[in-house]
Structure 1
Amino acid sequence: MPDINLFTAAKAKKSLGQHFLRDERVVQRIVDLLRIEEGDQVMEIGPGPGALTALLRPLPWKRLLLLEKDDHYAAEHAARPLPGLEVVAGDALAYPWEAMEGPWKIAGNLPYNVASPMMWDIVSRAPQLSRAAFMIQKEVGDRLLARPGGKDYGALTVWIQSFVSVQKGFVIGPSAFSPPPKVDSAVVVFLPLPPEKRPADPEALARLVKLCFQQRRKQLQTILRHALPDRYSPEILAALGLEGTQRPETLSVSQFQSLADALFSKK
């Protein structure tokens, strides 16, 4: 398989969860899913040796921001300047997403060990995310696409689906990477939801879903009575058409949002 990277790939760092893409067909499919148009602002998270970057560079974006934690690759990319290209050496988990101005399209082969908290932050904190295409562990992808009632449905599902519509891209085997991971990967696409479908109080929703899914096998009334004795009452559930005997995994995304509002309303 030919080398498609801009730079010779150094040995992958296990501490950074690095697995470098080496299949050009896969890389091209990710770029296609991002649907870059003239004048777009584009961010790539973790470009590494540049397999995805090489296909992004000639596209008609207005601005291309490369966010790279590995100092070696950050310096390599910075040494290949291009009008509108910016390289930021830093950790995506510490990036000030709120400061991003204007619409952005974001792509990345996300490290498996930090993909979930990274996506949690991006969907809720990037003010004008317009589209995203992320490669992640297939198991995490299954959780993002899950529906109520299944084993994959959890706090991450509810949170992500409260901000974006998640679309299934495609599945990739380990042989597309160097070194090959021990699991399959998947590409998912995020499309932002309109403001009226997003949570009115994100902090309340985050608190509720973490609380409920830490005890997902227990009944709602048991969880809420013990954790929120000053806020919970059976009438709150009844008003939302919920039963106290329901388990968290049976609630829809919109029901979680409504329950969070009812429990934590400042009124």
Structure 2
Amino acid sequence: MYTLKKSLGQHFLKDENMCKKIVQSLPVIQGQQVLEVGPGAGAITKYLLQVPGINFKAVELDTEKVQYLEKTYPEIKDKLIHKSFLDMEVPFQGQFSVIGNFPYNISSQIMFRVLEWKTQVPEVVGMFQKEVALRIAASHGNKDYGILSVLLQAWYRVEYLFEVHEQCFNPPPKVKSAVIRLTRLEQPYEIASERKFFNLVKTAFNQRRKQLRNPLKTLFDKEYLQDSLFSKRAEELTVADFVALSHKMI
């Protein structure tokens, strides 16, 4: 058998209907490349292995889980990458979808890595701690709206799909969980400099309660800072507003 490792944020799904529901949330076509992040004991892996016609791989850091998966699901042997998702190379050439019951302690970092690979990743279906899922899906004017919301929504449409009860897990986590789906925008925003855009969004939300004129004063000309937009707070700006602002940065 296997042991649960709190250090890796492990809570394993045991509700079979929920496992199927998560897998069914990922649209798949013949020949599609799919990466599962953190298969753990294989709760959704066993259903992904049954999806016909896809090129499937999984990445798992925990040696014990790798051994368990290879013993329990022999067909996974050559499809398993024994590494941390955050340290691995791009697992496929061309386009690939990402799915997983993401380790909650690194779920935000996982999404930043997805952003690095956004030209290759058209879809993501992931289970997150509910508050992180709400943050990713939040729209402007919402208290949950922040850095993750803006950066991910600049390239992806985010759907908050459903919540997962604590009793669906072993052991039951102390936090609520939710599944979201990201679909890459067919017409993404025109961002001249990703580096400037990222810097703008992070700087704006680092002092989210202040008018933007304060935290952003080093990024724009003094004259432009007189614009009424800078009297707003970060959470009041849409993704489009941030994109437009990034074009005016010095």
Both structures adopt the same fold (TM-score exceeding 0.5): yes
Q: For structure 1, which segment, 184-193 or 202-211, has the greater mean C-alpha deviation from structure 2 after superposition?
A: 202-211
For structure 2, which runs of at least 5 residues remain unmatched after alignment? none
8 Å CA contact 2:134–2:160 kept in 1: the answer is no
Q: Percent identity?
A: 34
Match of 1:138 among 130, 134, 143: 130
Please provide the CA RMSD for this pair. Answer: 2.0
1:109 aligns with 2:85: no
Letter in 1 for 2:244: S
Aligned to 2:179: 187
Aligned to 2:222: 233
Partner Cα distance (1:213, 1:138) in 2: 21
Q: Deviations over 1:172-196 (max 9, x none)?
A: 1110111110111000001001354
Partner Cα distance (1:205, 1:83) in 2: 40
Structure 1 residue 127 displacement after superposition? 2.3
Aligned to 1:222: 214
Q: Deviations over 1:54-81 (max 9, x none)?
A: 1111211331111001111223334544
Letter in 1 for 2:236: T
1:254 aligns with 2:240: yes
Aligned to 1:171: 163
Partner Cα distance (1:234, 1:148) in 2: 26
Residue 23 and residue 203 in structure 1: after superposition, are their counterparts in 2 closer, same or farther (change >3 A)?
same
Residue 45 and residue 61 in structure 1: after superposition, are their counterparts in 2 closer, same or farther (change >3 A)?
farther
Aligned to 2:43: 51
Helix, strand or coil: the match of 1:263?
coil
Helix, strand or coil: the match of 2:80?
strand
TM-score (normalizing by structure 2): 0.92
Structure 1 residue 141 displacement after superposition? 1.0
8 Å CA contact 1:219–1:244 kept in 2: the answer is yes
Aligned to 2:75: 82
Q: For structure 1, which segment, 254-263 or 167-176, has the greater mean C-alpha deviation from structure 2 after superposition?
A: 254-263
Partner Cα distance (2:52, 2:190) in 1: 31
Letter in 1 for 2:212: L
Residue 39 and residue 184 in structure 1: after superposition, are their counterparts in 2 closer, same or farther (change >3 A)?
same
Letter in 1 for 2:163: V
Aligned to 2:195: 203
Partner Cα distance (2:190, 2:80) in 1: 31
For structure 1, which runs of at least 5 residues remain unmatched after alignment? 1-7
Q: Deviations over 1:206-252 (max 9, x none)?
A: 11111111101111111122x43xx43342674xxx52211111110
TM-score (normalizing by structure 1): 0.86
Aligned to 1:156: 148
